[in-house]
Structure 1
Amino acid sequence: MNPHPSPPDPAKALRIQQMFVMEISNLRGFLWTLVPDRHRLDDVIQETFLTVTRKADTFEEGTNFRAWVFTIGRHKALQSLRERRHEGYLAPEVLEAITEDREPPDGHFDERAAHLRDCIAKLPGNARQMISLRYTHRKSLAEIADVLSFRPASVKVMLSRFRSLLRNCIERKLRQIPNPP
């Protein structure tokens, strides 16, 4: 082992940072499934970026960059959850088991996110409001029921239907063949 390691390659670090920027939307989507708090998610992404930059020389170019970054991000997310275990999220051990063999998204995350926004916009107003309360504002079924004057069981059924509508809408859009220029 060399007692005097060579200094990091600034050009490689810059390439790695540029590749990271290209993956940030996919990474954000993946990490959101683990850390559904926007502020904490931003912190985890920043920590991931710093670690990726610091370890740039360890990345073997030509291998799966996305998998490498997502592994680092997953570890940072789990570390964040361990530090804040008392806040009521799934235990980090459970999340670790769930995501252990999970592959990075297929590269269509940005496309799916855009389609999701379009599909949500097409929902009736009460459906959009219910989706927003549940997934943007992280309200419980009981809280949504109180706001919208429904029973929690009805909210559960409606959310299930709305998710199904959104899933079908996104799948239809993904199957569409783009028009030639």
Structure 2
Amino acid sequence: MNTAETHAAQVFLAHHDFVKGVALKYAPWPGLMEDIAQQVFLEFMAKESKWDLSNDARPLLATMTRHIAMRLWRERTRQQPVVVQKLADHIRLLAEEREQPPRYEEEIGVLRSCLQKLPEKSRELVELYYYNDIGTPEIAEQVNMKADTVCRALSRVREKLRECIQQSMRQGGSAHA
């Protein structure tokens, strides 16, 4: 390893926990966080000569981690037979309810009700991203928005859905309660 590679590896290791935190946020699948962190390290090191490591590396690492996490999350969840279940699992895990047994059928019903409560534009983004499996750059072109705006909008939609599901589950498992 040359000096530049050693420095790049040290920078990555100094931010390893940060990378794992970002990975967990975007792909909260058991065991996936470590896979994402390893992939970020490999891609970071493969392009180490391109990075200006004199600046804070966290924005770069956050972007890399988010892209890799979302890519691995999509690959992992494509194995799920029901797209709505994938979204319910993601929201359930974001809420860190891992210690409780899964309540898929109940959550899917609540999720469907919560989806109906969203504004039409938000439902359109969910449909394009989760049902049609279209990436954010393509969605951005279709809805005449910037890709990072679509990412933030999807993040806000997931948060609203998580809150709706949590509130509905506290009120007895029905989104109509």
For Structure 1 versus Structure 2, the TM-score category normalised by the shorter chain is 0.3 to 0.5
* TM-score, normalised with respect to structure 2: 0.47
* TM-score, normalised with respect to structure 1: 0.46
